[in-house]
Amino acid sequence: MVTLTQVYVAAESFDFHAYVGADRLVFPWRDHQVIAYLDERQPGALVFDTNLRLDAGMEDITELARVINNWNRERLGPTVSMRVGDESQVSIHARSATLTGPGLTEQQLADVVRMSMETSRLAVDHIIAELPWLTTADLADDDSFRKDQDTNALSGPLPRDRHIGVNELDDDAVRLRELDQRRSQDDEDVLADLGGDAEPDEEYASHMSTHDDSTGGDWDEAARTGTPEPVTIDRVRATLEGLGIEKTQGGDDVIIAWINDILFGFFLDNGPSYLVKGHWDPNLDPDADFLRMFLLCNDWNEASVTTKAFCHSDDDGLQVRVEFTAPVREGLNDAQLEHNTAVAINQVLHAIDSISSDATGQSAVGWP
């Protein structure tokens, strides 16, 4: 079981210093703060929620939508989102999370902490480079301003209040409204080369129930203490087969499968990271429909802990992609790989169900 004490020790080893609260750690930075906490709902996760110290205005939303969507499309993490407040202020957030159900080794936890803190700063730096008025560098009495924010963060509501555990919702009632590394491969071209544009058929189509014991719950001690091993495409393929997803395509670099009528890609990217991507292709107008679809993706990103939705344009129009990413520099044992894969599929399906239903009135997911 991961504890905040372990997170604190790991952070200190990298000279990331935190204020300690009863149920959280608050890491202060000049232009942002990071709140680390354990979300004990299923699936359990260690979450790093980042808040920019200054808010944007309603007049910035169009530009913010472009900046946020580009970041979420081009970077593995963290997931960036925005929220409009009661007084029309626009707060900007970033979030990364790692599943803790099967436990984490000391080395895995250290890698998660280092990567989460470093990529959070990279995301903030990128946003401020695009929107320079969001820096606090020129504020008078900025130390007092930051101290007040950090004090409030120690005792205020946890950021998880805006996150909803989708696993606890029924399949037919899901309606949510509430590392510095660029892609090393053009996964869209890979999927196309492997037949990713084809319609699902019986040979390569699978269905998966979202009420699977492997998406959360108790794990025996052997599963928790199994030795992590390098994650390979062959191990991912074997894991999918163990989950009942045997009809797949792909080679050494990627696995593709149709699951509940949604095209999935399973990749290993630089970092290294394990990336699971779901594709929904409504072929919308890239200009007329972008802001509407961005806001639906943003709603999901504000609510989700583990997945990220964003808009993607191709020759056929505006599409939606949903990603789940897990760091695997320190490897994963079999229980961890199965847990991450099952949760990824589960929550990518729920994301596409929610976004497609809100956008068109009909779910793109074929629930069993």
The residue extents of the domains of the chain are 4-164, 167-360
> What is 167-360's CATH topology?
Yope Regulator; Chain: A, (3.30.1460)
Question: Quick one: which of 107, 344, 106, 336 has its CA closest to 222?
Answer: 336
- Read off the pLDDT of residues 44-90 as tens digits, 9 standing for 90 and up: 999 999 999 999 999 999 999 999 999 999 999 999 999 998 888 89
Which pLDDT value is given to residue 209?
53
Q: Can you give the pLDDT at residue 224? A: 56
Decide if 168 contacts 210 (C-beta within 8 A): no
Q: Look-up: residue for tokens 């056929």?
A: 316
Q: How many residues does the chain have?
A: 368
Give, as one character, the DSSP assignment of residue 215: G
CATH 3.30.1460.10 at 4-164, yes or no: yes
Please list the residues that pair with 134 across neighbouring strands: none
How high is the pLDDT of residue 319? Answer: 97
- The reported pLDDT for the residue numbered 40 is 87
Q: What is the pLDDT of residue 167?
A: 41
Can you give the pLDDT at residue 269? 87
**pLDDT for residue 359:** 96
**Amino acid, res. 235:** R
Structure confidence at residue 247 (pLDDT): 87
Write down the pLDDT at residue 160: 74
Residues of the chain with pLDDT under 70: 140-141, 162-225
